[in-house]
Structure 1
């Protein structure tokens, strides 16, 4: 019986991958881990323990990923009960620390006064986070990348939280003008290695005062 690989995160930024195999016999088993393109193999010598039934064995094997997070990670085990060694491939999207994104917020937007739209992003690891802003074109339903000459995208410093994940605030700074910013709409798109698809948040139509 194979249990899903579990992940834990240390203060130093190391990720521990734990694989548990249950109820096998005899106890002799070989487990190998490897990571990155080079696939340098590491043999695990964890000692099996007797299962609750008193007749079979369980083992938990732990592999520590360095802070650089070299993916993919491969784990393979050999046991006389199987002809072909089973294996599992782990990718960044398997990690559980997906960004949590609050709703976009904007204080009063005043004409010809520097303003900003902000969003709080939290509970992610690693810090490899990308934020993209798009604006709805006037008179259309199409969103395009903001004009970098007018709109400035900023991400605050990544703050470590008590669970060793990170949080930050993403901002879009600009000086509202008419007519292009009246009733404007924006999309904030957040991408992270843990996610196969980006997450979006939308705000607008905005009122310029």
Structure 2
């Protein structure tokens, strides 16, 4: 079935006991994996309730998430934040809340608003005149751009940047990192010495830089600040980052997030192999500690003489915020008799720039031939001697055994062709000559 983008709505539901709740409905999506959160002021409501997946007639899924609004809390906005593989990177639906007291005040002030409109029109004319004068005089207001950030990957250094233009003073920069549980940490170019020990240790994980470039005309300058750190699944999943720039008495802020993190899969070396009673080779590959859950993995042979895709079975599990996957594949043992035959397992994940793979041939299998020591008794010149060598514990059954002799006074090894095989016992009848 093709992927389907979810339809997201959020609404306020009034109850008979005069309480209310926020209902986030996510409908008609495929595949099944999805993340739904209700957010207030960039904080995820952990006590929200998620329903079970419902299967629609067309094979897609629907799901609801509900959060009961406490009577002592009056948020102005609610947001429903949905992450799904069809969204880039997510979709957010906002809901503005009004309350009874506010509604009455609005009705009372309707007449006053009409009167204010006339005053606003006059004020707009004055503002336009002042703006024109300032623009003509070359005065410009400091402005701040959005935070630029690459994709966050667990364990890989990440640099966020933000730029402010047309600043007039010595602009000061503070970056604010707010974790999923609401913990906030402020870091700057010159950390404060008044921090508590735990907060000071946490701030050491982050590096803040600031670069000021003066413009060619006037006394204005541009400020570029960067925040460098190494994202961690345990500390930074759904983290929000805010950049705060102060220029003279003006304070500007831009926020990035809540942000997800990609964790690259770790391959558990080597590919494991077992031998079935029917002579089939059962192969197993394990990938660990990746996020999100979606993973593409396949088994194939792409040699010049043999090309095929093999069916596999997958077993998935999760540990903390990350996922593990074990993929198993069965290959006919007869194929490994060809020394050019190779099996390849290939995997691709959102966190990887390109697919990775491992190859396996007969020489990589653990069943290597074991040779029994050749027993030699006391012999005399001219005696006929039967030499025997037992070879065991090998796979596949494609073994070639050669007997070689080296005559006295010569360093050359010469093949003896009159050997024979009885099961796994290789023997040769020869005559001993001593000189």
With normalisation by structure 2, the TM-score equals 0.35
Cα RMSD (Å) of the superposition?
Answer: 2.1
Question: Equivalences for 1:1-209 in 2 at 5 Å?
Answer: 1-3=266-268, 4-35=270-301, 37=303, 38-42=306-310, 44=312, 46-51=314-319, 54-70=320-336, 71-109=341-379, 114-146=384-416, 148=417, 152-157=418-423, 168-174=424-430, 176=431, 181-183=432-434
Separation of aligned partners in 2, 1:14 and 1:105: 35
Q: How many residue pairs were aligned?
A: 163
The 1:21/1:40 distance shift into structure 2, 3 A limit, reads same
Q: Deviations over 1:24-73 (max 9, x none)?
A: 1111111111125333224645242112xx21111111111102125211
Unmatched tracts of structure 2, length 5 or more: 1-265
Separation of aligned partners in 2, 1:113 and 1:136: 17
Separation of aligned partners in 2, 1:86 and 1:36: 15
Separation of aligned partners in 2, 1:81 and 1:63: 25
With normalisation by structure 1, the TM-score equals 0.70
Q: SS at 1:98's partner residue?
A: coil
Q: CA deviation at 1:118?
A: 0.9
Unmatched tracts of structure 1, length 5 or more: 158-167, 185-209
Separation of aligned partners in 2, 1:80 and 1:18: 22
Contact 2:312 2:330 survives alignment (8 Å): no
Q: Deviations over 1:114-150 (max 9, x none)?
A: 531011211111111111011112321221112x4xx
Q: Which has the higher contact order (CA 8 A, sep 6+)?
A: 1
